[in-house]
Chains A and B, each alone.
Chain A
Amino acid sequence: MDERIIGQVRRVNGPVIEATGVTDAMMLELVRVGEVRLVGETIKLSGDSAIIQVYEDTTGIAPGDNIYGSGSPLSVELGPGLIGTIYDGIQRPLEEIRNLSGSFIERGISLPSLNREKKWRFQPAALKSGQEVSPGMVLGTVQETQGVEHRILAPPEAAGTLKSLAGPGDYTVTEPIGAVAAAAGEIPLFLMHRWPIRTPRPIRERLRVSHPLITGQRVIDTLFPVALGGTVAIPGGFGTGKTMTQHAIAKWCDASIIVYIGCGERGNEMTDVLTEFPKLIDPRTGRSLMERTVLIANTSNMPVSAREASIYTGATLAEYFRDQGYHVAVMADSTSRWAEALRELSGRMEEMPAEEGFPAYLPTRIAEFYERAGHVSVLSGQEGSVTIIGAVSPPGGDFSEPVTQHTKRFVRCFWALDRQLANARHYPAISWLDSYSEYLGEVTAWWEREVGPAWTRDRAEIMELLQREVRLQQVVKLVGPDALPDSQRFVLEVCNLFKNAFLQQSAFDDIDRFSSAQKQMKMLSLILTFWRRGAEAIRKGVTLVRLKRLKILQEVIKMKFNLANEDLASFDRLAARLERSLGQLESVYDEEQ
């Protein structure tokens, strides 16, 4: 590595170091501090002094220690070998670190992010020497896992004519596979290239969002859908199931690649992902879920400044797969910890705080992060998308705090987790009253075309019922349910059925954990059949007690567990039997009269 001494430590205050004697440091340059070579980044330059944020524990660093500059910004390595790997916040492979330093993470470890020894089978694209090459162009492919074809992209500086391109064969990520003659001279090509994490990767143009990201979670897909390329916030106090929801989406959503960022959260949660994902099978590809997942782990006891970087590392990896023409979903759990890392660093730099000690640039940073999502036409002309799903952990579960409020300004979909629901173990605890999705209008066409023309109407009807239930519940709280007429108590009954049979979803049940769009539609229409026909029956004089005693209702409640995604015909049969029972009930009543 080309190292040069760029200055000396003057003061150490936690992860923030003041340097002096600085002459040729670059802003946002990757640096190493002291003889243990702790990784850091210059974040402020003024006169001959600089402020350096260190990504590792600074114990033992003293004034006078040398600071070494690397000459390049903090970057990630992009190339085959990313899938299935777990990295720390600055893309160091944690498995390799374990081989070096054992169960506990030592400091100052310097390791390449991508395996340098492994050979990948490269299949070049049909390109001829002398052909124009532009950044982002697909040079060839590597079958990285059974499910993921890794498309090798021309690096950012490779604009010119192709001089040579290797034939099919096995290469490591550092063996040249060709060269480009560019204005600045000859640029060698490799299976990997680098990209600075704080710079969004370029695209051709942004496209309209139109396709929903099917998560398999009914309350999300049916009530509050998110589009491919969209942004979502999941706020919720502790114990309301943010992580469980994120895990469920990471497991079952129909994105091609998942980037899971564990930012300042529990170590065991990352272990859970690491042990569970390889065992689960993706219903679409039939392959292990780990074969489409990249993990970034900065657990809560790992250094706080690397937490700040982990979000950008994750976004850059996601953009890289997007540029290959994939739909990528990013789970960031939790963005509040990232915001708190910003606050801690800002405080140590003695910056003037805004709300609750957070720096004034917090909203800008949040906006920058969520704007890295989008449905785009990439440089090679293909379509790809990055969907960002960020968890927010508001202190005391109070959504009026700065991080939740600012996040709300920059996301278009909001899944509010509700403490009351979580306490009743109603999972996912997504509140149907406080949540919203601005993508509804954009994904409606897809649902009506692909799933069923009645989708918009059915969804609107159940949402209206849920709203009516709230008003009726207020009455019930004052005077008790007996004061309501049967027709109104039936609304409560139906909503109750909808919550039990539809909204609640078990992440641990083999059938229930994932519902296809078709199954969701069938279930919804079944419940609405009960509502429409039942309301009709009550108008005709059937009592609510009789309706409630219908044996078939137990089957409706348990259909989520008993009827599989592929078994759509069974839903039709169940619907027919429901109609028949209701018909019988009405006719018995007619006779009695």
Chain B
Amino acid sequence: MTKSNKAPPAGFTREEARRRLLAGREYVGVDRIDGPLVFVKNTHPVGYRELVEIVDPRGATRLGIVLDTAADVVVVQVFEGTSGLTMPGTHVRFRGEPQRIGVSERMLGRVFNGLGQPIDGGPAPAGDLEVDVNGRPINPTSREYPRDFIQTGISVIDGMNTLIRGQKLPIFSGNGLPHNELAAQIARQAKIRGTETQFAVVFAAMGVKHDVARFFSSSFEETGVLDNVALFLSLADDPSIERLITPRTALTLAEHLAYNLDMHVLVIMTDMSNYCEALREISTIRGEIPSRKGYPGYLYSDLAELYERSGMLQGYKGSITQMPILTMPNDDISHPIPDLTGYITEGQIVFEREMHGRGLYPPVAGLPSLSRLMKDGIGEGMTREDHPHLASQLFAAYSYVKDVRNLASVIGEEELTPLDHQYLEFGEAFERKFVSQTQSEDRTIEQTLDRGWEVLTMLPAEELHRVTETEIEKFYGK
């Protein structure tokens, strides 16, 4: 068995030797600048995705990577934008290696830009390890299937869309809906019952407003967890291109914390829609063939590179749980961004504007929300034995409520059968008593499940097909 990359051939080829000599050479002047892209002609052979340093006429260094390399021209994407660059006055250095960042535990409690440079006024923390920000795909045979129930204290999540440690569960929201509040509440309240573990939060902001970033940092500060949080901020007024690297930098740190330092890491990434837009911008400038709505054909693979950097690994104590937030353009769940995200993530928490309008918090739409990993993390020994059937029954009954409401809007409530009236009342109670709670309310799983039974008791027992008779005897009407 040979690992061929450890066995270079004897001696370098002439081409190889030449490239080694030339790496690090500085080129003065570029040939074309187009948006965030810089084109450099007549270089030595430059590697694909090599890190590039661009020195602007005032002497400041910006970072970029090689997007396309050919014998005659190299295309460089500049993360900090190209404003102020001139064609003759720009110096370009190819570093001969992919982009790496130094990661260490000391990055917790600090604030960075998207490239991992500190912006809180402090010195750059010394890195324990230099890591390629692009990561490597996890071997599916080394994954540990996630099963540990995380209690978020939020009934609609714990009871019906249970979050599991190592899961990637996005929030599909819309502009003006309280997704930030919910994410902050989850970060505050999340716990694995019966254990004390080292945890950390890695927060990546892409193109969000200053207020949003401040909301999160003050929320972390109030609960006294700021020392366990690393913030990577690429805000709305930063160059849009920096957003492409922000989640990668953040996830690289998360991987170090989880797999080298045994921490349980919650990664919050907001707002994925801005990330995707930056990707579209680059793709358009490069003249690539678009697929839907102008987004590049590789949007799925690109998002998967981020979302799949979560989970648990065999033989490692730590884990990465991801909670990406995205605002659905025009509240449209079939838009490419939520659509492709839903195909990669393990479920989704979907917000509904109508519920928000009625003053319900969290405005989580009951039916389209889903947690795929729930089935293996709930039930006897994990939450409570009645949990799987109770959740299924609540879904089924609430789904029928939606039908009855539609019917009532056509024929009027008076015309409904007595049973349908009972369903309407159940629906109302479900939303007010079970789903709705305050931003500081932290319910245990037992409280959540008992509330579930409490609202189900409003329906006749023979309507409950999805729970067993033993469960009805034990919990119904108690």
Which of B24-32, B226-234, B305-313 lies on the face that meets chain A?
A: B305-313
Residues of B within 8 A of A111 (CB): 1
Residues of B within 8 A of A300 (CB): 300-301, 304, 307-308, 344
CB-contact partner of B308 in A59, A108, A267, A423, under 8 A: A267
Query: Knowing A60-B48, A108-B4, A268-B346 touch, does A299 contact B140 (C-beta < 8 A)?
Result: yes
Q: B60 on the interface (CB 8 Å rule)? A: no
The docked-state distance in angstroms from the alpha carbon of A192 to that of B297 is: 39
In the complex, how many residues of chain A place their beta carbon closer than 8 angstroms to a beta carbon of chain B?
89
- A12 B5 Cβ-Cβ under 8 A: no
- A64 B334 Cβ-Cβ under 8 A: no
Which of B83-91, B287-295, B421-429, B451-459 lies on the face that meets chain A?
A: B287-295
The docked-state distance in angstroms from the alpha carbon of A482 to that of B368 is: 30
> A49 to chain B: closest CB distance in Å?
11
CB-contact partner of B19 in A12, A20, A62, A478, under 8 A: A62
Q: B21 on the interface (CB 8 Å rule)? A: no
In the complex, how many residues of chain B place their beta carbon closer than 8 angstroms to a beta carbon of chain A?
92
Which of A126-134, A372-380, A390-398, A435-443 lies on the face that meets chain B?
A: A390-398
- A480 B407 Cβ-Cβ under 8 A: yes
Query: Knowing A62-B47, A395-B336, A425-B395 touch, does A343 contact B141 (C-beta < 8 A)?
Result: no
In the complex, which residues 391-417 of chain A have their Cβ closer than 8 Å to any Cβ of chain B? 393, 395-398
CB-contact partner of A12 in B69, B309, B311, B399, under 8 A: B69
- B141 A63 Cβ-Cβ under 8 A: no
In the complex, which residues 335-353 of chain A have their Cβ closer than 8 Å to any Cβ of chain B? 337, 340, 343-344, 347, 350, 353
> A117 to chain B: closest CB distance in Å?
10
Q: B343 on the interface (CB 8 Å rule)? A: yes
Q: B143 on the interface (CB 8 Å rule)? A: yes
The docked-state distance in angstroms from the alpha carbon of A275 to that of B406 is: 43
- B367 A424 Cβ-Cβ under 8 A: yes
CB-contact partner of B410 in A58, A347, A424, A477, under 8 A: A477
Query: Knowing A59-B49, A104-B135 touch, does A266 contact B417 (C-beta < 8 A)?
Result: no
The docked-state distance in angstroms from the alpha carbon of A13 to that of B298 is: 13
- A62 B45 Cβ-Cβ under 8 A: yes
Residues of B within 8 A of A398 (CB): 334
Query: Knowing A12-B69, A111-B1 touch, does A479 contact B411 (C-beta < 8 A)?
Result: yes
The docked-state distance in angstroms from the alpha carbon of A26 to that of B321 is: 46
> B319 to chain A: closest CB distance in Å?
12
Task: Determine chain A's interface SS by DSSP, over half rule.
Answer: mixed
Residues of A within 8 A of B71 (CB): 10-11, 20, 63-64
Query: Knowing A100-B1, A104-B138, A299-B140 touch, does A304 contact B395 (C-beta < 8 A)?
Result: no
- B70 A477 Cβ-Cβ under 8 A: no
- B305 A94 Cβ-Cβ under 8 A: no
In the complex, which residues 301-342 of chain B have their Cβ closer than 8 Å to any Cβ of chain A? 301, 304-305, 307-309, 311, 313-316, 333-336, 339-340, 342
The docked-state distance in angstroms from the alpha carbon of A479 to that of B396 is: 23
Q: B142 on the interface (CB 8 Å rule)? A: yes
> A382 to chain B: closest CB distance in Å?
34
CB-contact partner of B16 in A35, A268, A350, A477, under 8 A: A35
Q: B274 on the interface (CB 8 Å rule)? A: no
Residues of B within 8 A of A275 (CB): 145
Q: A103 on the interface (CB 8 Å rule)? A: yes
CB-contact partner of A104 in B49, B136, B301, B388, under 8 A: B136
